[in-house]
Structure formats: structure tokens, C-alpha cells
Amino acid sequence: MGQTLKCVSPIDGTVYAERETMDRDAVAALAARMRQAQSGWAARPLQERVDLVMAGVAAIGAMNDEIVPELAHMMGRPVRYGGEFGGFEERASHMADIASEALADIQVGEDDSFKRAIKRVPHGLVFVVAPWNYPYMTAINTVAPALIAGNAVMLKHATQTLLVGERMAAAFHAAGVPEGVFQNAFLDHDTTSALIAENTFDFINFTGSVGGGQAMERAAAGTFTGLGLELGGKDPGYVMEDADLDAAVDTLIDGAMFNSGQCCCGIERIYVHESLFDAFVDKAVTIVRGYKLGNPLDSETTLGPMANVRFADLVRAQISEAVAQGATAHIDTFVEDDGGAYISPQILSNVTHDMRVMREESFGPVVGIMKVSGDEEAIALMNDSNFGLTASLWTRDIDRAVRVGDQIETGTVFMNRADYLDPGLCWTGCKNTGRGGGLSVIGYHNLTRPKSYHLKKVTS
């Protein structure tokens, strides 16, 4: 008998949804059926696959009025923000638009004797393990291009957002994507690891914690299964002396606090040139004091609960430790802070890299702000991290941003923006943030394998 997966709502601590996990034999049989269906799917014309995937995307859009409050119940994001369909559709649409070019044969050359080309062919069965913080957008990053490229896709979602994969599968099936090539699966960790170890999948994309990524690598060891991993982050912002101060404060603080700080590329530490430091902190404090913490189903709420009490407990512990070590906390406890999932946002100054809050992932509504003397010090501090997803640079000088960006150990460098995923660019990281790359042309390359054709012509 399988386990029962329970989504506990951060709104009130009650069980919002539950599903039974599939046993190992049942999932193995499902995977075998998907492998059989995949070849027929890959043989369909590319444009047909594109059209069916985009019809599935539209079907999700038609559910948005139901999805938005459902997300609030499952992971706490306020309904006022309208869900994820904008980014979900933007990413899928871009991948659909570039599919023909990204998947086109590479013509190496042809003469009287030979024709040579490199094709992009699907891996086969792709396993997508998606996180709870942006459950639709993170899933579509891989689901859409994997299906468009001709793969079959098995999707496993985090228990915290238990219903998302089920909704996606239902929408895509209703739009005409064959059930055999796209399935949602409810799996426990042991079954997941066993399936990976048995070489059930041809490619795995995992978004989650560093520990989760390590478990994936251990399970896949010796199988030669390709892995795409997006793991932890501690993304920095750097405000130079020539920055547009108001724009920098507005964007970086929103990047730190939106979704209760539970963003893959959220801002977790900010370095500000000494000439702007005091003004930056004052403006940041004013913004955060204006937030309304509360029930995410209330349209007035701007900051909902964290997805789980244990996540909030980690953030509180980091803040308490930092204050005990000399940090200054600028935000008084909100009256709505219940000591559980509802947690007050916090801005810390007088922080150092000896503090956990500046070195370990927080993934919550807290940000530390440090004063720096210039580029050299800022670069050293930004690189003083085990993570490397994005960095946000604030200056009016593009050349300077490029020079600084070239020295920062991250997958993406932003200038005068933050906390955004451009589907035309490769979404990637370094260090403990992971390996691989999603979206863009490179995303298609990672979801296919090259196959070379060296064809000798018969000339007599």
C-alpha cells in the first residue's frame, strides 16, 4: 500500500489535499507504456506537437480563476497577484516560437560524394521534478520544450503543491496531447530514487534543494542518465554610486520580499555603495513597513504566509542569530505574525558574512544590507558564496556592468532589474546552484541528443 501525500495549507494548518502514492511496479509499468507512446509522438510533425502543447497551455489559462485561490491555499501566495499564467504562457510561447530553428538539422556539408548533418533527437522519457514555490512556471520550463522536442514527460510535483501536476495533465490531455506522452505521478522519495537507479528515465530535470539534488545524483550514479539541476541560491544585488536609487530600492526589495521571499532568484543579500547606503536602507524600511501580512485569500494582503511553518522557523532562527551577533533589525514584529507560517518581513543592517543569514539560503522575507566601498569589495562579497544563480547590478554604465558581471560567479547577470526569468536566455547556475540549462536554444539542446549522419553517395 502506498503512502498518503498531504498538502498542509499554510493559511490555517489544515490538510488541503491528499493523494495516495503509486507503487513501484505501477510506475514502472506506466513508464513502459510512455516509452511505447513516445516514438509515435516524436514522429508527428513538429508544428503539430507545438500546436497541441500550446493548446494545453491555453487550457491552463482557462482554469486560472480556480488555480489562483488553489495556489493560495497550497503555498500561501496572495490572490491579488493573479497566479502564474503570465509567465507560464510567456515561457511556453517563446519555446514554441524558437522550436523550428532550435531543433533544425545542422547541415555540415554536401558534395558529390557525401552528405553530412547533425540532427537533434529526443532523449525518450523525461522526468520532471518540480518545486512548490512557482509550481506552474518551473514545470513548464521543461514540460513544454521536452514535449515539443518529441519526448514523453512524467511530472512529479512537490507535496506542498500537490494538485498542480494533476491540473496540468488534465489540461494537456483535454487539449489533445496524448495521455501516453504526458503523465502526472504521485511518488514518494524512495520510489523515485529506485526508479532513477533502475534507469527508468532518459533525462531528469530537478528543481529543489541542494540535498534533493544530491539525492538525485546518488540515485542516478552509474546509470549515465542526464541531469539538469537547479538547486539553492543566495542571489546578491549591488547598488553602485551612480545607480537610480529609487528604482534600485523598489526592485531589489520587491525581489527580496515577493512571494514571502520564496523565489528561486529572489534577492537575499544587498551590497550598497557607501555614498547611498543610509538612503537605501531608509527607503527600504519604509517600503517593507507598508506591507500587509495576512490571509492570502484577502485581496488586501500583500504578504502571505510562508509555505510551511518549518521554513518560517529557519528564517526566524537566522534573524535571531544575526541580531545576537550584532546585526540591526529594522522592522518591528507585525501584529499578524503568529510565530508560525505568518512571519514578519525583516531588513538587517550591520551584517557580516560570519552570519548564516548572509551565507546560507534563507528563502524567506529577510534581506541583509551591507555597505561597500566600490566594485572590488562588492565583487569579492558577491562571490563569497556557495551558490551562483543570478546577480543584480545597479548602474547607469553598461560597460561597467559587463566588467563587473564578467567577474561574478553566477549563471545570470542582471543590470537594473532582478528576479526575472527571460525565456530567450539560458536559465542556469554554477557552484551549488546546480548544472545544466533550461529555456532558450540551449534548453532544447539539453532536452535532445545530437545524432550525426555521414552519408556516402553511390555515384556509379
All residues at 6 or more sequence positions from 180 whose CB lies less than 8 Å from its CB, including other chains: 33, 34, 36, 37, 38, 41, 152
CB–CB of 447/142 below 8 Å?
yes
**What are the Cα distances from residue 333, in Å, to 108, 283, 339, 362?**
64, 18, 10, 18
What is the Cα–Cα distance from 376 to 412, expressed in whole angstroms?
A: 19
CB–CB of 423/440 below 8 Å?
yes
Using DSSP, state whether 117 is helix, strand or coil: strand
Q: Where are the beta strands (DSSP E) in 148-258?
A: 152-157, 182-184, 203-207, 226-230, 235-239
Q: What is the DSSP string of 310-325?
A: HHHHHHHHHHHHHHHT
What is the Cα–Cα distance from 125 to 198, expressed in whole angstroms?
A: 13
All residues at 6 or more sequence positions from 339 whose CB lies less than 8 Å from its CB, including other chains: none
All residues at 6 or more sequence positions from 248 whose CB lies less than 8 Å from its CB, including other chains: 237, 239, 280, 394, 416
What is the Cα–Cα distance from 124 to 181, expressed in whole angstroms?
A: 10
All residues at 6 or more sequence positions from 71 whose CB lies less than 8 Å from its CB, including other chains: 77, 83, 84, 135, 161
What is the Cα–Cα distance from 296 to 168, expressed in whole angstroms?
A: 23
**Catalytically active residues, by annotation:** 230, 264
Using DSSP, state whether 422 is helix, strand or coil: coil
Closest by CA to 120, choosing from 144, 148, 92, 93, is 148
Burial 272-297 (b: 16+ CB within 10 A, else e): bbeebbeebbebbbebbeebebbbbe
Q: What is the 3-state secondary structure (H, E, C) of 38-60?
A: HHHHHHCCHHHHHHHHHHHHHHH
Closest by CA to 266, choosing from 116, 391, 146, is 391
DSSP strand pairing (114-122 vs 366-372): unpaired
Using DSSP, state whether 446 is helix, strand or coil: helix
DSSP strand pairing (427-428 vs 437-438): antiparallel
